[in-house]
Amino acid sequence: MSKKSRAGLIRALLLDNPDGMTVRSIGEHLGVSDQNMDNLNYTLEKMPDAYVDRWNTVGRRERIWCVVPVPEDCPPPVTYREKYRGKALINPGIDQMTKQSIADMCATKKLSQGEVARRVGVCVQSVRRYSMEAV
């Protein structure tokens, strides 16, 4: 059995036993011989999610190992493009007065769409949309 597959078996066994297990009890569950207990101990020490939770002080001093349940990956943050260039910014909730002022500025004052967007406080896509509706 390779060390990677052994680590997966140990991880599954420790997740099923959240109170922890000693190296000897892990070896008994996995059928590891006494000669290979050092290899089992080495595998536990190299696992990034395994840790010594406490020491067994009754009788023989042994480490009791536990494993951290790994959470799911965090979702990625919303990018600038998704936040400011997506559909969310072309907001149907812009009031009628703002729509009318956008249409008036584009038609009468001959301002660029970027200038209208800065004055009104909306994105250029919204200005394009509402100036086209007015025409």
**Which amino acid is located at 123 in the chain?**
C
* Nearest-angstrom CA–CA distance, 36 and 44: 13
Are 120 and 127 in contact, with CB atoms under 8 Å apart?
Answer: yes
Q: Look at residue 56 and tell me whether its pLDDT is greater than 70.
A: yes
* Nearest partner of 105 among 94, 97, 90, 116, judged by Cα: 116
Helices (H), 47-90: 80-84
Section 67-83 average pLDDT: 78
Q: Taking the model in full, what pTM does it have?
A: 0.50
Q: What is the pLDDT of residue 66?
A: 92
Coil vs helix vs strand at 93 = coil
Q: Look at residue 109 and tell me whether its pLDDT is greater than 80.
A: no
Most confident of 6-20, 31-45, 63-77, 121-135: 6-20
- Give the chain's domains with CATH numbers: 3-67 (1.10.10.10), 80-134 (no CATH)
Cα dihedral 30→35→38→39 (10° resolution):
-60
Q: Look at residue 47 and tell me whether its pLDDT is greater than 80.
A: yes
Buried b (16+ CB within 10 A) or exposed e, 83-116: eeeeeeebeeebeeebbeebbebbeeeeeebeeb
* Nearest-angstrom CA–CA distance, 20 and 22: 7
